[in-house]
Amino acid sequence: MEAKQSAYAAAGVDIDKKMGGIETIKQMVKKTVTPGVIGGIGSFGGLFQSPGSDTILVASTDGVGTKLKVAAMAGRHDTVGQDIVNHCVNDILVQGATPLFFLDYIGASVFDSAIFNQVVSGLCKACAENGCALLGGETAEMPGLYPVGEYDLVGTIVGQVKKSQIVTGERIGVGDVLIGLPSGGLQTNGFSLARKVIFEQEGLRPGDLLPGTETTCADALLAIHKSFLKPVSNVMAAGIDIHGMAHITGGGFYDNIPRVLPKNVDVTIDAASWEVPQVFRFIGEKGGVAREEMYRVFNMGIGFILIVPSGAVGATLKALEAAGEEPVIVGGVNPGHRAVHVLF
């Protein structure tokens, strides 16, 4: 009997196939390792030691994905630049790094100055907010490769962290507590499934209200991917011992949290500890998506997780709240084998 295809795979994105491909790539990448490389690929950012320095460079590359299709449908392109910068900032933040500079890539069949200017304005806004220089980039016109009226947006970030302050996750232990920060929306993941359910299946348009809310579909889906640099920096500045962090992006809880876990622990997430935003409930219910798959495809309202010792929970919550966040305790660490268990 053939295994049932997941809803996300049916929408065009097969996470299992992607994860299998990454394992193959890891073996090829090992052949390129040079003396400055620290660790391997698979974490949120790659580490490289600057010659003659105790400063470690942390780099990461990502894209906005098919959220760009929603931007095109809505005729709104000023937010996606913020999305990609903030996404990359959060990825290197997982290892304790702060951003130095950012590079962008925009590819299109035909250069549209109005769209391009909106995108770049978003890039500049987010770079300024994160104290990050927009150092350069590439704008490529490739007729025949991209459909007319569409474009791709990719970013690369380089940040820094002192070698003694790298957050690796190695010290995560039984009894540690997971504290979640609200995402505010889909961030930049799961849009192939979201678009299929909301626009194709339900027949809604960007300007229509998302059922159960007073927010349009465009506003709900284009909500800016938050940067968590300020609240997490508050925690680090307070001298709190952060054992690990995870950016809840593609792969949701099940694939992102294990990236920072030691081999001898599991994590249990209490899904009842926060209120799941309506946009996720709507996609799950109308799309007939299993709960486990929803927590693997989407962030479900939790965009970033800090893992701290139980004795540091109070101070961590205080530091996060001082930065304007509404943190919530979402789970804990137990003995195990690097797995995530979500309790519904």
* The predicted structure's pLDDT at residue 11: 65
* pLDDT one digit per residue (tens) for the chain, 344 residues: 566 778 867 765 566 765 665 566 567 667 766 666 777 666 666 677 776 678 899 999 999 999 999 999 999 999 999 999 999 999 999 999 999 888 899 999 888 888 988 998 899 899 989 988 888 788 888 888 888 888 999 999 999 999 999 999 999 999 999 999 999 899 999 999 999 999 999 999 999 999 999 999 999 999 999 999 999 999 999 999 999 999 999 999 999 999 999 999 999 999 999 999 999 999 999 999 999 999 999 999 999 999 999 999 999 999 999 999 999 999 999 999 999 999 99
* The predicted structure's pLDDT at residue 19: 61
* The predicted structure's pLDDT at residue 39: 73
Residue ranges matching CATH 3.30.1330.10 in the chain = 44-165
* The predicted structure's pLDDT at residue 15: 65
CATH top-level class of 177-343: alpha beta
Quick check: pTM over 0.85?
Answer: yes
* The predicted structure's pLDDT at residue 40: 67
* The predicted structure's pLDDT at residue 324: 97
Superfamily of domain 44-165: PurM-like, N-terminal domain (3.30.1330.10)
* The predicted structure's pLDDT at residue 144: 87
Residue ranges matching CATH 3.90.650.10 in the chain = 177-343
Give a three-class secondary structure readout of the chain.
CCCCCCHHHHCCCCHHHHHHHHHHHHHHHHHHCCCCEECCCCCCCEEEECCCCCEEEEEEEEECCCHHHHHHHHCCCCCHHHHHHHHHHHHHHCCCCEEEEEEEEEEECCCCHHHHHHHHHHHHHHHHHCCCEEEEEEEEECECCECCCCEEEEEEEEEEEEHHHCCCCCCCCCCCEEEEEECCCCCCCCHHHHHHHHHHHCCCCCCCECCCCCCEHHHHHCCCCCCCHHHHHHHHHCCCCCCEEEECCCCHHHHHHHHHCCCCEEEEEEHHHCCCCHHHHHHHHHHCCCHHHHHHHCCCCEEEEEEECHHHHHHHHHHHHHCCCCCEEEEEEEECCCCEEEEC
* The predicted structure's pLDDT at residue 21: 59
